[in-house]
């Protein structure tokens, strides 16, 4: 491709609304252009990168038995209503009506569609196991699109779906995806880790997210450098400290004026926050409507909203109002579970082991000493609802956990029968009995992956694409001046020779100053740069420079194609050396 014909242009400065390196550079280098918040056009350079990422994805999906299909981007509401997700998913789903007044949706994921296909195509256990995948457009109306391609509303995703007769088959396909995903990211030059995660709106038994660790990430992860434990903060566990075991003391009401926070209460009574019980009031949106939820945890800990929502099977949680709190018999700032009515009480699993805590008396200005679970109140649910924090003990080895930030670049879910049960996607087993199909779902965001590779590979001058996904392999800079005829003829011949040799070339033939061309070459980030000019020819050849190096060498014209091939092979070999089969951790099974 000649730069004079390329449908894009570089920008000297990034627009003011670009906030991270990948966003700034992809816009400045002419890869993407915004149309609206979270909606982008992908120009030729970006499409070439994405095609290469998609090729890697296809190869790895095919290698584990995947068959590519294409499912519609427009869905009738009926199938989403069958699974219940039509009412469970909020405004992030794009809804509209067709001309006949039928409710329709823009695809945000395809579990319902693939389940509909499965119930129509599969009759017998002999037809499974199966794995189908697609690379398809999705729409999710994010309330706050940000960071360029990191969080968008319209995006391209590889989503695959496994169909099995039993849980062992699902386990096998889940493990195969786990390993395949690491191969995909390594082949694209992106370091990642896998962390346990919440199943969220997808449902099912288990999920992992694949994370690129970066300060720009929206997800907080808890990791153990000692044993390798890693989990999203939404589901991270930690080893809770064992409380001192004292005999239960009599309940005692004491005056505690102006102590509406745990910190002020602990200071007033001169006790550690660990000896207090914190009350957390929320309204949970559940299938049957809103429900008042009172959560109790130790005062030195914080509630994890995701764990709490999962515990009460809530779609969303919102803070309860003062009137709603008083309606159950509690008092804001002095609340506890003692004496409340018409509330769903959820207690953290550390509370029953913690005797003689100080809790609110549900009377302004008063607290209760020596509150004990089981004697003074009981819960509807006892489970882990606390948020893990940096420094907490690893649940597996006890060493301190650390926090890091990450961007999710892929996820895998064990759906089980979540969709096949509700949509009656069944098969006949060897005994002729009808059984639900066991399913898994696995996703990779193609545009987000490209953005993360750009985020990981750049410098002050521009992008530095790994050779495996670079839009072109070689950038030829034509430096016009003295001896222009000879120089241009050499550049044209090299351009033709490399194309004939199968080398992907972007040829900067524009009538621009050399400095502009060199800056654009660095900005666009192609692995190798060849400079054809009178000075280099007088030295016996053309200049060869790797994008990731300052070194420049003179290569004889007749050796250029051979030398370029060798350099590209070395760059690819370095990437290949990092591609290893990461085994699925047995403790995750």
Strand, coil or helix: what is 175? helix
Averaged pLDDT for residues 302-328: 93
Give the separation between CA 73 and CA 60, rounded to whole angstroms. Answer: 24
Q: What is the pLDDT of residue 201?
A: 57
**pLDDT > 70 fraction of the chain, expressed in percent and rounded:** 98
Query: pLDDT confidence of 18, banded at 50, 70, 90?
Result: confident
Q: What is the pLDDT of residue 325?
A: 96
Tell me the pLDDT of the chain averaged across its residues: 94
CA nearest to 352, candidates 337, 336, 374, 370: 374
Tokens of 523: 């900005």
Averaged pLDDT for residues 540-555: 95
In this predicted structure, the answer to whether residue 463 has a pLDDT above a threshold of 60 is yes
Give the separation between CA 265 and CA 77, rounded to whole angstroms. Answer: 52
pLDDT tens across 173-232, in order?
999 999 999 999 999 999 999 998 876 655 566 789 999 999 999 889 999 999 989 999
pLDDT tens across 259-276, in order?
999 999 999 999 999 999
Averaged pLDDT for residues 412-429: 96
What is the model's pTM?
Answer: 0.89
Class of domain 44-236+403-455: alpha beta
Pick the CATH number of 462-576 from 3.40.50.300, 3.40.50.800, 3.20.80.10, 3.20.20.210: 3.40.50.800
Q: Tell which wins on pLDDT, 287 or 77.
A: 77
Based on the number of CB atoms within 10 Å of its own CB, is 381 exposed (0-12), middle (13-18) or buried (19 or more)? middle
Q: State how far the alpha carbon of 62 is from the alpha carbons of 58, 177, 196, in Å.
A: 6, 11, 25
Q: State how far the alpha carbon of 445 is from the alpha carbons of 39, 158, 334, 513, in Å.
A: 14, 6, 47, 39
Q: Structural domain boundaries of the chain?
A: 44-236+403-455, 252-383, 462-576
Tell me which fold the domain 252-383 belongs to: YbaK protein (3.90.960)
pLDDT tens across 484-520, in order?
788 999 999 999 999 999 999 999 999 999 999 999 9
* Geometric angle at alpha carbon 513, from 510 and 519, rounded to 5°: 90
Averaged pLDDT for residues 561-569: 97
In this predicted structure, the answer to whether residue 483 has a pLDDT above a threshold of 70 is no
Q: What is the pLDDT of residue 589?
A: 46
Backbone φ/ψ region at 513: left (φ over 0), alpha (ψ -120 to 50), beta: beta
In this predicted structure, the answer to whether residue 323 has a pLDDT above a threshold of 50 is yes
**pLDDT > 90 fraction of the chain, expressed in percent and rounded:** 88
Strand, coil or helix: what is 570? helix
DSSP for 200-222, please give it: GGG-SSEEEEEEEE-TT-SEEEE
In this predicted structure, the answer to whether residue 137 has a pLDDT above a threshold of 80 is yes
Residue 244 DSSP code: P
Q: What is the pLDDT of residue 197?
A: 83
């Amino acid at each position: 491709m000649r730069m004079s014909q390329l449908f894009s242009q570089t920008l000297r400065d990034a627009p003011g609304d670009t906030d991270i390196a990948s966003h700034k550079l992809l816009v400045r280098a002419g890869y993407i252009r915004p149309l609206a918040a979270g909606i982008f056009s992908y120009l030729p350079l970006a499409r070439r990168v994405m095609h290469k990422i998609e090729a890697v994805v296809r190869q790895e999906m095919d290698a584990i038995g995947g068959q590519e299909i294409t499912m519609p981007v427009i869905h009738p509401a009926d199938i989403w209503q069958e699974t219940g997700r039509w009412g469970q998913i909020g405004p992030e789903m794009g809804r509209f009506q067709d001309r006949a007044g039928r409710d329709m949706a823009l695809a945000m994921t395809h579990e319902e569609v693939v389940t509909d296909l499965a119930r129509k195509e599969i009759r017998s256990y002999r037809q499974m196991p199966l794995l189908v995948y697609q690379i398809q457009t999705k729409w999710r109306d994010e309330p706050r699109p940000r960071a360029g391609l990191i969080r968008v509303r319209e995006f391209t995703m590889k989503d695959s779906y496994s169909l099995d007769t039993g849980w062992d088959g699902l386990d096998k396909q889940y493990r195969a995806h786990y390993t395949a995903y690491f191969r995909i990211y390594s082949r694209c030059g992106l370091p990642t880790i896998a962390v346990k995660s919440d199943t969220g709106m997808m449902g099912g038994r288990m999920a992992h997210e694949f994370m690129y660790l970066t300060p720009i990430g929206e997800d907080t992860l808890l990791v153990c450098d000692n044993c390798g434990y890693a989990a999203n903060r939404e589901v991270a566990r930690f080893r809770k400290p064992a409380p001192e075991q004292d005999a239960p003391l009599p309940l005692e009401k004491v005056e505690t004026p102006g102590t509406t926070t745990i910190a002020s209460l602990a200071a007033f009574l001169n006790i550690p926050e660990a000896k207090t019980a914190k009350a957390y009031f929320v309204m949970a949106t559940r299938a049957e409507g809103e429900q008042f939820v009172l959560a109790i945890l130790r005062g030195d800990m914080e509630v994890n909203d995701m764990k709490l929502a999962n515990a009460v099977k809530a779609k969303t949680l919102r803070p309860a109002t003062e009137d709603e709190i008083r309606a159950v018999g509690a008092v804001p700032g002095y609340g506890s579970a003692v004496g409340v009515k018409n509330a769903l009480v959820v207690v953290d699993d550390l509370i029953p082991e913690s005797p003689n805590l100080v809790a609110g008396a549900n009377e302004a200005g008063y607290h209760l000493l020596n509150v004990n679970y089981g004697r003074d109140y009981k819960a509807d649910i006892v489970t882990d609802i606390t948020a893990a924090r940096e420094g907490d003990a690893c649940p597996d080895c006890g060493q301190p956990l650390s926090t890091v930030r990450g961007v999710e670049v892929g996820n895998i879910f064990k759906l089980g029968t979540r969709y096949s049960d509700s949509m009656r996607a069944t098969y006949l087993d060897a005994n002729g009995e009808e059984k639900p199909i066991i399913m898994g779902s696995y996703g990779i965001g193609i545009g987000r992956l490209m953005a993360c590779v750009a985020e990981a590979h750049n410098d002050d001058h521009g992008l530095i694409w790994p050779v495996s996904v670079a839009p072109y392999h070689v950038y030829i800079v034509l430096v016009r001046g003295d001896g222009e005829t000879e120089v241009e003829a050499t550049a044209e011949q090299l351009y033709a020779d490399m194309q004939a040799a199968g080398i992907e070339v972007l040829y900067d033939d524009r009538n621009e100053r050399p400095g502009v061309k060199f800056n654009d070459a660095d900005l666009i980030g192609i692995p190798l740069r060849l400079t054809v000019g009178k000075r280099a020819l007088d030295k016996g050849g053309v200049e060869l420079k790797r994008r990731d190096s300052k070194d420049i060498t003179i290569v004889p014209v007749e050796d250029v194609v051979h030398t370029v091939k060798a350099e590209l092979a070395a760059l690819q070999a370095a990437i290949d050396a990092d591609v290893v089969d990461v085994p699925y951790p047995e403790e995750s099974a």
